[in-house]
Amino acid sequence: MSGYPRAQNRRTQNLSENKLKRINDYNTRLKEQLDIPRVKVSQASEDLISYCQNNRDPLVPSVWGPIDKREDPFAPASSGGCCTVM
């Protein structure tokens, strides 16, 4: 039974090393997130408003008015008939 404390110590050391590795990995990911460029909410809002005012959106006809079926990317494609025979 003299080997039991050594095995227990190795197991505890392995658990501690794994825990330290996870903490270091987490710390690295947090540092990477700090490097991501940030934009203030007010600037992002202004950019979004500007984009919406300058780009026609077929899903908002109340703002842009109805669009021609040929310009509507969400209109069903006309295949010339209603049925397809295989």
Number of domains into which the chain is organized: 1
Give the pLDDT band of residue 18 (cuts 50, 70, 90). Answer: very high
What span, in angstroms and rounded, lies between the C-alpha atoms of 27 and 21?
10
| Residue 37 maps to a domain | yes
pLDDT for residue 68: 78
- Vertex 85: Cα angle to 83 and 86 (nearest 5): 145
| Residue 20 maps to a domain | yes
| Residue 69 maps to a domain | no
| Residue 76 maps to a domain | no
pLDDT in tens, 28-86: 999 999 999 999 999 999 999 898 888 877 777 777 777 777 777 777 776 665 666 66
Average pLDDT over residues 17-22: 94
Domain with 12, as residue range(s), is 4-64
Q: And the tokens for 79?
A: 């295949």
| Residue 36 maps to a domain | yes
| Residue 44 maps to a domain | yes
Compute CA distances 66 → 24, 31, 70, whole Å. 56, 48, 12
pLDDT for residue 82: 62
What span, in angstroms and rounded, lies between the C-alpha atoms of 41 and 38?
9
